[in-house]
A and B are shown apart, each in its own frame.
Chain A
Amino acid sequence: MPSVAQKAYSYDDLSSYFPLTYPIPHPKTHPDLITVKDLNREEDLLRNPSSFRAWWSAIQSTRDSFTAQLKVEKPSDLPDEVKALLGPLASPLARRYLQRITYLYESALQNFPSSFKLWKSYLQFRMSCVLGKPVIKKRAGGRKKFGPMKDALEEEQDDLEEWDECLDPVIGWEEWKSLIATFERCLMWLPNLPRIWLLYISIFSHPQCPALISHTHARRTFDRALRTLPPSLHSRIWVRYLLWAESKGGETLVAVYRRYLAIDPTLSERYTALILSKSLGKPRPLEAAKVLLSLARKAARGEYTSPEGKSPLQLLNDFVDVVENYAEDVGMDVEATDESNAAIAKKDAENEGALDAGKPASMDGQLIRMAGPAVTVGPDGKVLPQYDEDEDPLSERKLNIENIIKKDGLDMYKDQAGRLWVGLATYWIKRGDFDRGRETFEKAIQSVVTQRDFNQIFEAYSQTEDAVINEIMEALEDEEDDDDKAELEEEMDNRMQAFEQLTDRRPFLLNDVLIRRNPNDVQEWEKRVALYGDDDEKAAAAYTKAIETIHPKKATPNFHRLFINFAKFYEEGGASGQAEPDLDSARKILEKATKVNFKQVEDLAEVWCEWAEMELRHENYDEAIRVMQRATAVPKNTKINYHDHALSAQARLFKSIKLWSFYVDLEESIGTVESTKAVYDKILDLRIANAQIIVNYASFLEENKYFEESFKVYERGVELFTFPVSFEIWNIYLSKFVKRYGGTKVERARDLFEQALEKCPAKSCKPIFLMYAKLEEDYGLAKRAMAIYDRATQVVTDADKFEMFTIYIAKATANFGLPATRPIYERAIEALPDKQTAEMCLRFAALERKLGEIDRARAIYAHASQFCDPRVNQKFWAEWNTFEIETGSEDTFREMLRIRRSVQAQFNTEASYLAAQTIAASEGNKRALSEGPEDNDPMAAAEKQANGGVKGPAFVAAKKTALPKPAEEAGAQPAAKVANSEEIQIEDDEF
């Protein structure tokens, strides 16, 4: 039908199809509602109208047939734009069926007017015909019930229904209206069911929803829903309501949100974001600022927890952001601010007075309030905060930003002040009040306490100054008028100068900040002094201020250096040394320092020492001594614990060894022997001397030829100290004594040595023994010397024994010849630890060989062999090998090999194997190892097994008993030989 296709559809043509459902279609008015096929069904229904099932199945079958027919219907020949306008009702079939199904539903509802099932199905059908087919979204997981409103809003936003193409609200206005009317009818029957309400409400979020419905009618419907439904269901409505309000924006948004916030303030932050966003009508910064301020205050009091997890400070910073961005809209101007500040100050003063006067007489605040002005309380009986215009979003009064930032920000967040100060200054600058802004920056720099804040503020400050200068420069380029130009140039010069000054001041300001943070920071004060450089007035003032400010017990270390440096400053004539030196003032400073109760006594001692040194530098030797005499004045009660921090440093000073050492040095260099001795004696009397002092004292006396006295000092020293310390004193004492008296006072020397050795621990007595023996050799008897060596070998520790024996043997050889050393060797082999025994045995064997006693030498080798793992101690075995080659027979050689194998078996444990590996690796001698031991290992093990592990030890034990007694040697030797032959036979069998 080309003519139809080309036909232009007018509005009237199209709108004339509607309304389809009003008045409600009936066979009387619409004869085509019922076809012949339907008669049976109609009759059934008429006969049995109260059967819900019959109705339901009739409706369902009709709807099914409708869908089936829609599918087979050939595409309509209407133009696309018309199709889009008509949406689901584009085809005549759809329109017809809408009427038919509506007729059926309505008839059913005549009989079951309060059936929720019927109504819901009916409404959904009608909606699908007008709004279009709902797009079904896939949703994972269940829905959280009663979550926070913020989450609910976000979820709902995602869950908003979407529809296919709908009936155009202009063409089909009548049909839309009819749908709404149906909903209203339904709600008359079923007002309490939230599902119906929600269904109804969902229409309002349809993008094409006609304005007549979606504005006032929607708002009223939301309100009706809230009024009708119980409060437990309100949140489901509110979610939609708020979303709807957000989509509308403007006054509606504000009104709806205000209503909601009255019952639930958690959305306040969202609200502030909404009213600031420019897309939703005119921004309302003042209201946003007030809401944020109130939130920040509540959060600071703990009455509000931000759902976004913001801290009170973050909220306040948000507030500051708003203030910065809308400076003009939010804050007062300078005059108003000043006025308001004055008023607040006055009020505070009054309040303070009132507080003092009206304090209740109770200590713990438990008294019942009996009288006084009325107080507003909340529903829970708590006192509500006073009404504050600053927090009331409805009030149009602007904010006193200065006061708010000070009271709510700077007073509470002292360590986060940077952002707040910068915000306040930016606020003034945005308002165009550059002077006030600069003033604020200066104030900020004067009051912040952390370096980070300072840097932040300084950065902002210099950026501002920079921007201002740039602006003036630009203005200067554009300016034509000469007068104005000159004015601008002058202004610019001033600005440039101020900027430079600011940059110059930076180190001082930073130093100020650090000192403010910790006024007891000695190092920062010193830095400040250094910053002043050659400006003596300022430096002296800084020193003075530091000394006045710093609390000695809280000061950082080296507080005393400050005094010393200050004194030096006067002594040397200022920092540059250009001024006249003022020794008197330096003395006074040190005098003051000596009265300061320093943390450490050492510090005080150093002050005194520095004072004395200063006097020395100026050649006032007497004064230096006098100073030290004052410093070391001993109080009557000397039983003071040097480490008792409860006492002042001054009270403990006399026990400072540092001070006394300095004093005694001074006396040694410029005093007399007598005075020096007196000082040394005082040190000893106070029992604070250390070994060094004793040694110094003694050598001082010795230098002045007071030998006996010097020895007396040593005596006192060894009495005062116990061994590890007194060893050094003994050592010096004894050597000095021997050096002085030599052989003239041998008896006394002996006595001293005996005394020294009496208490000397084994660890350190070796040098004393050596010295003692040397004395006896030089001035006494060789026999005594030998006795001393003998004693020494018994007393000294194992580590020293080998060396001691070596010396002993050497001395014995020198004095009495080689044979005399035999018993010494024997004793050495008994006494020494295993490893050194082997070494000693080698020497012993060499000696015996030298003396021609081959058998004895062999026995010694055999004895030593038990300590020498062939893998570790190859040197030993090599030597024995050479010995046998040179002096032995085949039998003895074989015997050696046998012993070697048995010893190796004995050492065949994992630990010794590992030790062997390590040694081999370190020596790089792998060849010998990998061949020899590995071949031998299993054999030796087998041998040990065969012998039951009894013979090896028995054999060695026999040797051991045989060796120390040379008389039994001859008997022991054949026994060894017997054992020998047996062993070899077993070996042969095995081979």
Chain B
Amino acid sequence: MKRTSLLVCYSSSEEDEKEKPALSFPLTKPPTKRRKLPPLAETIAALPPVDNPALHQGRTRNVPHVEGQYAAHVYVSITLRESSPLYQLVKDVFHDAKKQVPSLQEISKLDTGRYELHISLSRPIFLRAHQREELRQAVRNVTREQAPFTLSFASFSELVNDEKTRTFLAIEIGAGHNELKTLSDALAPTLQAIRQKGYYEKPRFHASIAWALLTPSSNNGRDSLPRSESELSSETSEFPTIDRLPETLMSTLDEKYRPSLTSSRIGAFEVAEITVKIGKDVSTFRLKV
């Protein structure tokens, strides 16, 4: 959730400036278009920080920044050492995929040099200050009910975010799905109480390893081939976008890496704690011993 708290998408002021000349010539505009109200003065609402997707590899904010609101996220964290075989595997997968889809971006590394995979148990949750403790308490209660369990990876897949602005290359979970579902369901009443969305009805627990921007106009139903590089660069000068990941990518990745992924030596982990990240605070809760 670090990136959402850093990113800002609020461009209404720019739009208003564009509208201004129109206000002075209302006759030239088509009558169906209603005029806009004047923008608020800065003394009423301080201008939100200006969003610049260029600073964030072209990503745009899906949820506008709101003063006093904390973004929170509940997930299972898997730390990979550089020496671990899964780390190597993820690296290889990324490189292979990058060859096919050059606009693919790695999910950023942490500064410590450790590589973490996150398996989400919730959507982004937006909390007010007084609700933070409530959420931690809820997660603590959930962890008390659940014994540690084993987790394993099963396959590669492409997942698209709700707003259809980005697509993710993810590794889906095999064993441990039920336990994850139990945890995620146990969180639901709390989220319901603070009027936040629960996790998906039919969750596909996964760990994302890379992402790419989607073309804004791209329609999911349309089955199109990935465009060539030149096309992409012509459309958006700075950040290349794609319609979707090529279908062949999944199959090739599956073919090449699945055996090693599913082998118990590489793809099995013991889950002993759940992480809650609220704003920049990260806290972990151990599962029932």
* Least Cβ–Cβ distance between A128 and chain B, in angstroms: 92
* Least Cβ–Cβ distance between A669 and chain B, in angstroms: 14
Asked if A629 and B37 sit within 8 Å, CB to CB, the answer is no
Residues of B in contact, count (CB < 8 Å) = 22
Give the residues from 193 to 216 in chain B that come closer than 8 angstroms, CB to CB, to chain A.
193-195
Asked if B195 and A633 sit within 8 Å, CB to CB, the answer is no
Residue interface bits A661-674, CB-to-B below 8 A is 1, else 0: 00000000000100
> Inside 8 A of B12's CB, which chain A residues have their CB?
584
If A536-B37, A578-B35, A584-B12 touch, whether A589 touches B44 (CB-CB below 8 Å) is yes
> Inside 8 A of B129's CB, which chain A residues have their CB?
633
A678 to B193, CA, bound (A): 10
Interface flag for B27 (CB, 8 Å): no
Q: Which residues of A contact B (CB under 8 A)?
A: 536-537, 540-541, 544, 547-548, 569-570, 573-574, 578-580, 582, 584-585, 588-589, 591-592, 622-623, 625-626, 629-630, 633-635, 672, 675, 678
> Inside 8 A of A622's CB, which chain B residues have their CB?
195
A541 to B41, CA, bound (A): 8
Give the residues from 29 to 81 in chain B that come closer than 8 angstroms, CB to CB, to chain A.
34-41, 43-45, 67
> Inside 8 A of A569's CB, which chain B residues have their CB?
37
A540 to B193, CA, bound (A): 37
* Least Cβ–Cβ distance between A215 and chain B, in angstroms: 78
A799 to B38, CA, bound (A): 69
Which residue on chain B has the smallest CB distance to residue A541?
B38
If A589-B45, A592-B45, A675-B193 touch, whether A578 touches B36 (CB-CB below 8 Å) is no
A591 to B38, CA, bound (A): 18
* Least Cβ–Cβ distance between B137 and chain A, in angstroms: 14
If A580-B36, A580-B37, A584-B12 touch, whether A629 touches B43 (CB-CB below 8 Å) is no
> Inside 8 A of A570's CB, which chain B residues have their CB?
37
Q: A544-B41, A588-B44 are in contact. List 13 more A-B contacts (CB 8 A).
A: A536-B37, A536-B38, A537-B23, A537-B38, A547-B44, A580-B34, A580-B36, A585-B39, A585-B40, A588-B45, A622-B195, A626-B195, A634-B130
> Inside 8 A of A580's CB, which chain B residues have their CB?
34-37
Interface flag for B128 (CB, 8 Å): yes
Interface flag for B131 (CB, 8 Å): yes
The 9 sampled A-B contact pairs (Cβ below 8 Å) are A540-B38, A569-B37, A579-B34, A580-B34, A582-B37, A585-B40, A626-B128, A629-B194, A672-B192
Nearest first, the 8 A-B pairs at minimum CB distance are: A588-B45, A633-B130, A622-B195, A544-B41, A580-B34, A540-B38, A625-B195, A579-B37
> Inside 8 A of B192's CB, which chain A residues have their CB?
672
* Least Cβ–Cβ distance between B128 and chain A, in angstroms: 5
Asked if B36 and A579 sit within 8 Å, CB to CB, the answer is yes
From the candidates A573, A588, A634, name the one contacting B40 in the complex (CB within 8 A). Answer: A588
> Inside 8 A of A537's CB, which chain B residues have their CB?
23, 38
If A622-B195, A629-B194, A675-B193 touch, whether A544 touches B43 (CB-CB below 8 Å) is yes
A570 to B45, CA, bound (A): 14
Give the residues from 1 to 32 in chain B that come closer than 8 angstroms, CB to CB, to chain A.
12, 23
If A544-B43, A629-B131, A634-B130 touch, whether A582 touches B36 (CB-CB below 8 Å) is yes
Asked if B128 and A630 sit within 8 Å, CB to CB, the answer is yes
> Inside 8 A of A592's CB, which chain B residues have their CB?
44-45
A95 to B41, CA, bound (A): 105
* Least Cβ–Cβ distance between A596 and chain B, in angstroms: 11
> Inside 8 A of A623's CB, which chain B residues have their CB?
195
Among B67, B128, B130, B195, chain A packs the most CB atoms within 10 A around the CB of B195
* Least Cβ–Cβ distance between B192 and chain A, in angstroms: 8
A591 to B192, CA, bound (A): 24
> Inside 8 A of B38's CB, which chain A residues have their CB?
536-537, 540-541
Asked if A574 and B194 sit within 8 Å, CB to CB, the answer is no
Among A580, A634, A672, A678, chain B packs the most CB atoms within 10 A around the CB of A580
> Inside 8 A of A547's CB, which chain B residues have their CB?
43-44
> Inside 8 A of B45's CB, which chain A residues have their CB?
585, 588-589, 591-592
Which residue on chain A has the smallest CB distance to residue B48?
A588
> Inside 8 A of B37's CB, which chain A residues have their CB?
536, 540, 569-570, 573-574, 579-580, 582, 585
A93 to B37, CA, bound (A): 112
> Inside 8 A of B194's CB, which chain A residues have their CB?
626, 629
> Inside 8 A of A675's CB, which chain B residues have their CB?
193
Which residue on chain B has the smallest CB distance to residue A592?
B44
Asked if A589 and B40 sit within 8 Å, CB to CB, the answer is yes
A398 to B34, CA, bound (A): 62
A595 to B169, CA, bound (A): 44
Which residue on chain B has the smallest CB distance to residue A580?
B34
> Inside 8 A of A672's CB, which chain B residues have their CB?
192
> Inside 8 A of A544's CB, which chain B residues have their CB?
40-41, 43-44
* Least Cβ–Cβ distance between B41 and chain A, in angstroms: 4
A625 to B131, CA, bound (A): 14
If A580-B34, A580-B35, A584-B12 touch, whether A629 touches B44 (CB-CB below 8 Å) is no
A129 to B40, CA, bound (A): 99
Among B36, B40, B43, B67, chain A packs the most CB atoms within 10 A around the CB of B40
A623 to B36, CA, bound (A): 24
Asked if B34 and A548 sit within 8 Å, CB to CB, the answer is no
> Inside 8 A of B36's CB, which chain A residues have their CB?
579-580, 582
Asked if A633 and B128 sit within 8 Å, CB to CB, the answer is yes
A691 to B45, CA, bound (A): 40
> Inside 8 A of A536's CB, which chain B residues have their CB?
37-38
> Inside 8 A of A540's CB, which chain B residues have their CB?
37-38, 40
A440 to B43, CA, bound (A): 34
If A578-B35, A580-B36, A584-B12 touch, whether A629 touches B128 (CB-CB below 8 Å) is yes
Residue interface bits B113-144, CB-to-A below 8 A is 1, else 0: 00000000000000011110000000000000
Which residue on chain A has the smallest CB distance to residue B44?
A592
* Least Cβ–Cβ distance between B202 and chain A, in angstroms: 22
> Inside 8 A of B193's CB, which chain A residues have their CB?
675, 678
> Inside 8 A of B23's CB, which chain A residues have their CB?
537
A622 to B41, CA, bound (A): 28
Which residue on chain B has the smallest CB distance to residue A593?
B44
> Inside 8 A of A678's CB, which chain B residues have their CB?
193
* Least Cβ–Cβ distance between A660 and chain B, in angstroms: 15
